[in-house]
Amino acid sequence: MNLKKHQGQLITIAGVLVIGAIILAMPNKGSEVTVVEASEIEGVDSKIKIAVEIITSGKGAPMKGIALLKEVLEEDENNTEALYYLGVFSIQSGQFDKGIGRFVTILKLEPDNQEARLLLSRCLIGNSQPEEARIELDEIMQSGASKEIKEGANELIEEIKKS
């Protein structure tokens, strides 16, 4: 792998890891996440909330949270919230091809979801598809996306230019 070419991605990943380590090191004054069996959880919203807590808190096996999100998709394959979180966790784990599929599905269901488009662009860059990412980023810049989304798009455009 050409390190210079992927320097931006490596910096981003290192930053995510450092932030994650800081969060894990912080004292937890909140309630602990109770890991329960999927069959005991009722309601899609509850499953998603518990899944995200399991994964982000570091308490409990992350794969249990992933399994809950996948269970939600078995019940409703078009649940954009479950797709979104699975896509985000795909980025965090470097599984960009899985993230691409999840964000593409969200955009089929919600074509104006510019946050999903931005995250799709991040996955495309991570999957060595900068030309495809640039198309998505240009679409964001032409849309009515929020200032924050457009700033994120600009950062990714600059990252593509540097590589």
pLDDT tens digits, residue range 21-79?
Answer: 455 554 443 433 444 454 456 788 999 999 999 999 988 899 999 999 999 999 999 99
Say whether pLDDT at 108 is over 80: yes
Q: Number of structural domains, the chain?
A: 2
CA-nearest of 150, 111, 130, 159 to 9 is: 159
Q: Are 107 and 151 part of one and the same domain?
A: yes
Q: Are 95 and 155 part of one and the same domain?
A: yes
Residue 8 domain-assigned (yes or no):
no
Residue 2 domain-assigned (yes or no):
no
Q: Are 88 and 157 part of one and the same domain?
A: yes
147-162 and 130-142 helices, crossing angle to 10°: 150
Length of the chain: 163
**Burial track 45-67 (b if 16+ CB lie within 10 A, e otherwise):** eebbebbbbbbbbeebebebbbe
Q: Are 82 and 159 part of one and the same domain?
A: yes
Residue 108 domain-assigned (yes or no):
yes
Q: Are 38 and 89 part of one and the same domain?
A: no
CATH of the domain at 82: 1.25.40.10
Q: Are 69 and 82 part of one and the same domain?
A: no
Instruction: For residue 162, count other CB atoms closer than 10 A to its CB.
Output: 10
Residue 119 contacts residue 99 (beta carbons within 8 Å)? yes
Q: Are 49 and 119 part of one and the same domain?
A: no
State how far the Cα of 38 lies from the Cα of 69, in Å rounded to an integer: 10
Give the domain range for residue 153.
78-163
State how far the Cα of 139 lies from the Cα of 114, in Å rounded to an integer: 9
Q: Are 43 and 104 part of one and the same domain?
A: no
Boundary-marking domain end, from 21, 49, 75: 75
Boundary-marking domain end, from 17, 42, 75: 75
Q: Are 162 and 98 part of one and the same domain?
A: yes
The predicted structure's pLDDT at residue 23: 53
| SS3 assignment, position 78 | coil
Residue 160 domain-assigned (yes or no):
yes
pLDDT tens for 39-51 read 456 788 999 999 9
